[in-house]
Amino acid sequence: MASTTSGDVESLPSLGWEYSCDFEVDYKSHNHAAIVFAALEVDKELQPDKVKRHVYISDGKLKVRFEAVEARLLRASFSSFVDLVILSTKIIEEYGEDMS
């Protein structure tokens, strides 16, 4: 997973692969976005030669760009990532004040 802590999805280099998807979650807190970023950063793509994921934080938002050579690989990567984002977000919603 390529990762940075600030930037804009439009400025990320494109690999020119046929399938791509951009995704963002507004946590309204840089700290909460950074917690999710750190939790997800350790989960590497299983096929980095076929799926790339760029994740970064900007203005309290977690922003992600996926690129893949096949639609099914994009779907699988995106789906797994969103499951982890949902879990991380639920933890922040439950314990967020204690995590700041």
Cα–Cα dist 86/59, whole Å: 20
Chain segment 59-78, per-residue pLDDT in tens: 999 999 999 999 999 999 99
Chain segment 3-28, per-residue pLDDT in tens: 444 455 555 556 678 999 999 999 99
Q: What is the pTM of this model?
A: 0.78
Domains in the chain: how many in total? 1
Residue 52: the pLDDT is 94
Give SS3 for 66.
Answer: strand
| Residues counted in the chain | 100
**Domain ranges, residue 77:** 2-99
Q: Using the structure block, give the residue that is written with the tokens 């934080």.
A: 57
| Residues in a beta bridge with 20 | 67
Of the candidates 59, 81, 68, 87, the one whose C-alpha atom is nearest the C-alpha of residue 20 is: 68
Chain segment 24-52, per-residue pLDDT in tens: 999 999 999 999 999 999 888 889 999 99
